[in-house]
Every structure is written in C-alpha cells, then in structure tokens.
A and B are shown apart, each in its own frame.
Chain A
C-alpha cells in the first residue's frame, strides 16, 4: 500500500528535480533581471533620500495653493544637509534628484542645485522669503507638485508619460500638450508596421511554403536552403546589405540607371518602404516554416477528393486546403507580428525619422538620456501590447489549433 502511494510522488519529485535546473536558470537569468528592470518603470528612489522633511511637510498639502512656511523651512534644512553630504562624500544626490525632477518640470536641473548652493549660507528671518529671493519659481505650485509626485517609493509618472498623460499638483490626470505628445502615435505606428510586415510575409510566404511542400523531393533541400540560409545570417549583416543595395549610388540605383529605366537615382533608403522590405526579408522564414509544416502534414487526399467531387481547384483550396493549413498560418502570423514589434536595428539603419518604432525609444531613453524609468515603462508598453494581442488571438483562434504547427 505504502509503495503504491509513494511511487507517483517519487516519480513526480524526480521529474521536478529534472526540470529544476532549467526552472532555476530561467528564474535567475530571465525572470528576475527582466522583472527588476521593468520594476524601474514605477520605482522612485532619487528624491526621497534628498528631501525627506520636505516630503513630510507636503504630505498633507492639497496642491491648490503654494505650501506654507513649514515646507520652505523643511526644504532649506533638507538641502543644507544633502549638500553637506554631497560635498563630503560626492554622492551627487542633489544632482540626481534634480535630474529626476527636471524630467517632470524643466528647469529643475538648475533650480535645485542653485537653491541648495544659496541656502547653504546662513540667513535671517523666514525660510520662505529667503527661498523666494533665490528664485520666484518656488512661489508657484508646480515645483512642489513635482517634488511630491517623485517622493514616493513608487509612482505612475513614467507609465503615464508613455501614454502621453501627466498628473498635476492636485493629482488629477491631464493629457500632454499636442506638441509634446508622442508615444500613442508611436504605439499605433509600431502596431501598423508590424501588421503590414505580417501581411506581406503571409502574401509572399504562403505560396513559397506551398511550393516547397508540393515540390518533387529532389528539389526540396534546395528550396529549403533558400529559405534557411538567410535565416542563419546575422540580422545586422542582412540590414547592412540592404543599405549597400539601396543607397543613392548603390547597386539597385546603378542597375536601374544602367538599364535607363530611371532618369536619376531614386530615394530608396531612409524611408518606410526600405524598412518593410528588410523586415519582410528577415521575418519570412518564421512565416514559411510553420506553414510548410502544416501543409506537409496535411492529408492531400482531402483536396483531391473535393476536386473529384466537382469543386474548382480554387474552391477546393479555399474550402479545404486553406482551412486545414490555418494552424500554420496562425502560428506564422503570431511569430512574425510579435517579433516585428521588437524591431530596432532595421528601422534605425534603414528608416527615416518617422519610421522609428517603440524599441527605438527604449534605446533612446536607456542609452542616450540614461532615463531607465522611461525605458522600462516603454518596455512595459510593448509587453502589454503583446499580451493583448496574444489574448485576442487566443480568444478568436484558440491556442489549441496551433498544436499541429
């Protein structure tokens, strides 16, 4: 009896032990670092250590009128202490807090260090008068609102910013002014370019997969190699090759000119056509291979039966072959579309300024402006878009249909 209950448990433990290294590996090198990075989207660690008393003084502030003397006195005390700490240990705490506040309210980058420098000198009388004498800006609501928004351990500042939204001092939401709003348009563009790439891949890839699936066995390796060789070539190499082909005095323009088909060089590079062309080239194998697998496993007697029962070949394709190959089509479209959303190098090298997608801005914030909060928030946006698409796919098509592919 005892053996009977223990054996499955033992087997299950053994199985768990076998997959444990993989799970730990995934947890350690994938889930944890990415999770930690994404958490930066909401993390606020710059302002609170520098201005703890000011934040305490602002905790009960309603944000409709400038705060009173206690907040100013707390600010002076905080800045004196932080400056002394920076001067002694060189931590740059004030500078980092100022950089974070500047992202919310331009001008803070110089306002905070300047105020810190000036209040370090002793002064007589009210803190409020002394701080206002340094800069009139402290008499407004905006700087205090920015400090309070950045004060918590977490905030939605970056997440709202990537949706072109912002909170004011009272905490209510407002949309960004039209000449600063950008990310909604970029999100739609990313989805639209992903969709276009997917549709073109499908249009090109399905006939190709059909060709390979129905080709005589001797030709199959050659056709397969034609699909797989580019697949094994580095993405950067293929993108750079397109640059060489498409540039103003490149191979394509030279050939067109030599054949006297065009009167002058065509602007082939740095536009959306170039980006889509290279994206399709790079993503095509991800469309062809699942469709090929699906066509290969198809029972070809079924379309033949349809034809023998009087259906025209086109109708037999439409009513029999295509529905049977749909799992491959679905898998291919999903693979291509989700990868297309993450394209960075190809648009950066081949596209113009208005062909850049969300990943470009992730790189922009991560490496150019060193604003990891925004980079993480944009990554969250891409992740959310992928999750929504997967959910819609699962709802409309169902993942079980992908099994065949």
Chain B
C-alpha cells in the first residue's frame, strides 16, 4: 500500500526500463548488488540514509531499481531463470506468498545481528522488517480543537458531527468496526474468523453507513480532510504527517487502535550477491543508521534501540513510539489471504445496498 504513495507510474516506468536493459546482463556473473524499492520520495530518503553510506564504507557497489509491487512480478523473475534482482522491499502480503512459493532465500539472522536485534513483529522466516506504518484515525485540528480519541468516537456522530472517510474495502474497515465496538485488539481476528464476528462488524458499520465517504487511494484522505468533506478519516500515518510537514496543515492523529503493518527486505532465491545483501542488511539494521530515516519520512523503523536516537518531535509521529504503539493491532495477512475473496463479495454487496 505504501507504494501507491510515491510516484507509482514513474516507478513502473523505471522498473520496466530496468528489466528491459538488464535482462541480458543478468546472465553474466559478477553483477552488482541490485536493490529494489518503491521509488519516489521514499527511495530518495533510503538512498541518503542507507544506500550511499553503505557504498561509502567501501563494501561494494550497488544498483537501484524500483517496482510497483505484486507477487506475480517476483514469480516471473524467478521462473524466467534470468532474475537480476537481489534485495527487494516487499509488502507483508508478498512476503507471505513469496515465502510460501519459495521465491526468497531464508533469512540468515545470524549474519544480520540476530533475531533479538529487531522488534518481534519484524522477524519472519524469509524477510526482515524494514519500516512499519499504520492506518490511523486522522482529523483536522483547525476545524476540531477537541478531536476524537478512538474508533468509538469515530462512530459517534452525535458527539462529533460530520462525514467519515474509510478505505473502500473490507480490509482494515472490519477491524476498525470491531475495535469501535469495544473488541480488544487481541480478539479482533479471532472474532472475524467467525460469521457471527463478521455480522457484528457489519452491524456496527450499518450505524455509520449514511455518513461514510469511501476513499481508494492513499492521497485522498488528506484532501478530504483539507476540503472539509469529512470531519475525520482513516488514513496512512505517513500521509497525514507529510501534509502537516509540507502543506502547512494541522491534522491530528488519534493513535488508539491504529492498525499497523510492515514492509520487509527479502533476498531473491538463488541470488549470486547473497553475501553482499546480508552485509547491506546488517549495515542498515544498526539502530543509529535506521534512525536517519524517520526524520526524512515518517515511518517507524525496526531495530531495537533505534527510537532512542530520534528527537521527541519526530518520534511522536511514528507508529513505533511506545505511547502510539499501545493497543495497536497488526494487520493479519494470513487472515486476509484466506478470506479476502469472500469478504470482498460481502462488502461490495453491503456497500451498494
């Protein structure tokens, strides 16, 4: 989802160009470590904080590429036998699917500082978490001085009149409905696994249905807030902080019950540069190196102790700040892989009635 944020078209274009140009060279031995990320402002920040310093250490040369996500791309790379990517940043769903399909090398934690070096959510079989971001409740402080504190307030249109923005689709929406209905974060997916729990979530959404404006792209919630179209909305935390930072907005975030997920680094199966990739991961896994990213772009980082190097004002905008992380819910990709088809159908039916 993060990828939608940063020049997706450009990323796609560069990605295609890159594939076309380097397809032949892939066979040749001794190509440089190739790192693939989401492009745009995000990759610019990564370049400054991770890529250049690692190269300046003299470890090795590296090539950058960008992509637009989708496990099919990775599958095609491996299947063609001409894979020219080594280290790729993936979303949690691609991590899960690709690991299952054997597209990635198993992550060698001994070589990158050990499992306990990272926050537990970042550790998985085939990848290591890289950034952490959240779906949060956002509102405009300029219009609402005493804003909402929780998803329960989000559903309380008597106390907080005005329209509500939610992402169109069952993912995250159903979690929010249950959280607003007083379900503890730890119980949400247990409940959603039962049809009674899904019914309960939709009943809760029924109470708000007339007031919901649905958005589809991550760029929309700040616009909806800015134009006053909605009083509060679900949004990517990075987008809200970016609007405050760059567009002079005064948006507020209620972190209670935020739904977070991670992007991870994976090493492509059979990569000839596995050792260099691990060396890079070890370098960027250092808390003081990771701490360079959040001041440039407000996403949480995954090495234990990285937060200690951050200014309080920066930390306050991150989902990994202890007071923000309290009561947060991690998006359960396995649940959504199994149930998305069915719940999409149910959601589309419900939403268009």
Specify whether A and B are partners. yes
Q: What CA separation (Å) do A247 and B351 show in the bound complex?
A: 22
Interface assignment of A130: CB less than 8 Å from any CB of chain B: no
In the complex, the chain B residue whose C-beta lies closest to that of A180 is B345
B346: chain A residues within 8 A (beta carbon): 179-180
In the complex, the answer to whether B228 meets A249 with C-beta atoms within 8 Å is yes
In the complex, the answer to whether B101 meets A86 with C-beta atoms within 8 Å is yes
A107: chain B residues within 8 A (beta carbon): 338-339
Interface assignment of B97: CB less than 8 Å from any CB of chain A: yes
Q: What CA separation (Å) do A128 and B319 show in the bound complex?
A: 47
* Given A179-B346, A180-B346, A248-B229, A94 and B337 contact (CB-CB distance below 8 Å): no
A353: chain B residues within 8 A (beta carbon): 168, 212, 214, 351-352
Please pick, from A102, A249, A352, the residue contacting B341 in the complex, using a CB distance under 8 A.
A102
Q: What CA separation (Å) do A189 and B349 show in the bound complex?
A: 13
In the complex, the answer to whether A92 meets B75 with C-beta atoms within 8 Å is yes
A-B contact count (CB 8 A): 85
- Min distance, Cβ A365 to any Cβ of chain B, angstroms: 9
Report the interface size class on chain B.
Answer: 35 or more
* Chain B 97-114 near chain A by CB (<8 Å), digits 1 or 0: 100111100000000000
Q: What CA separation (Å) do A24 and B341 show in the bound complex?
A: 40
In the complex, the answer to whether B78 meets A90 with C-beta atoms within 8 Å is yes
B341: chain A residues within 8 A (beta carbon): 102-103, 106, 109, 369
In the complex, the answer to whether B213 meets A270 with C-beta atoms within 8 Å is yes
In the complex, the chain B residue whose C-beta lies closest to that of A364 is B348
Interface assignment of B79: CB less than 8 Å from any CB of chain A: yes
* Chain B 279-316 near chain A by CB (<8 Å), digits 1 or 0: 00000000000000000000000000000000000000
A180: chain B residues within 8 A (beta carbon): 342, 345-346, 349
Q: What CA separation (Å) do A270 and B350 show in the bound complex?
A: 17
- Min distance, Cβ A182 to any Cβ of chain B, angstroms: 4
Interface assignment of A35: CB less than 8 Å from any CB of chain B: no
In the complex, the answer to whether A369 meets B338 with C-beta atoms within 8 Å is no
Task: List which B20-62 residues lie within 8 A (CB) of chain A.
Answer: none
* Given A95-B97, A109-B337, A361 and B79 contact (CB-CB distance below 8 Å): no
* Chain A 93-110 near chain B by CB (<8 Å), digits 1 or 0: 011000000110011011
Interface assignment of A284: CB less than 8 Å from any CB of chain B: no
A110: chain B residues within 8 A (beta carbon): 334, 337-338
Instruction: Enumerate chain B interface residues (CB-CB to A < 8 A).
Output: 70-72, 75, 78-79, 97, 100-103, 168-169, 212-214, 227-229, 269, 334, 337-342, 344-346, 348-353
